[in-house]
Amino acid sequence: MSRSLRKLREAVKAARMAEMPVAKALKALADMPEARAFQLTPDMLRCMLLESLPEQYAIVLFERAGYRVKIPLADLAYLARHDETLAEIVVSVILYLDKD
């Protein structure tokens, strides 16, 4: 696990984002310095979704989002506040980061 992913995971757990209402969790993640520093690639996102969701749903969600570029997770969380599909994806990433 990369150092930036480890720091992000620790920050998400410390903030207890998995327990927050979705809108509040998305805002908190969008403002989090660790999420600004973490570059989420399409391959990494696909793996996270496959590990946190049932396989078929993860594949459909990933394809529906059309995610094809590397961007900071904080930017994705900001955009997710305005898009239902991206919100589902970011919530799944939060749950992935929160698991042991």
Whether 40 and 30 have beta carbons less than 8 Å apart is answered as no
Over the stretch 67-93, which tens digit does the pLDDT of each residue have? 899 999 999 999 999 999 999 999 999
Could you report the per-residue pLDDT of 3-35, keeping only the tens digit for each? 989 999 999 999 999 999 999 999 999 999 999
- Spatial distance between the Cα atoms of 30 and 75, rounded to a whole number of angstroms: 6
Full domain range(s) for residue 14: 3-98
Contacts of 100 (CB under 8 A, 6+ apart): none
The number of distinct structural domains making up the chain is: 1
Instruction: Note if the pTM is more than 0.85.
Output: yes
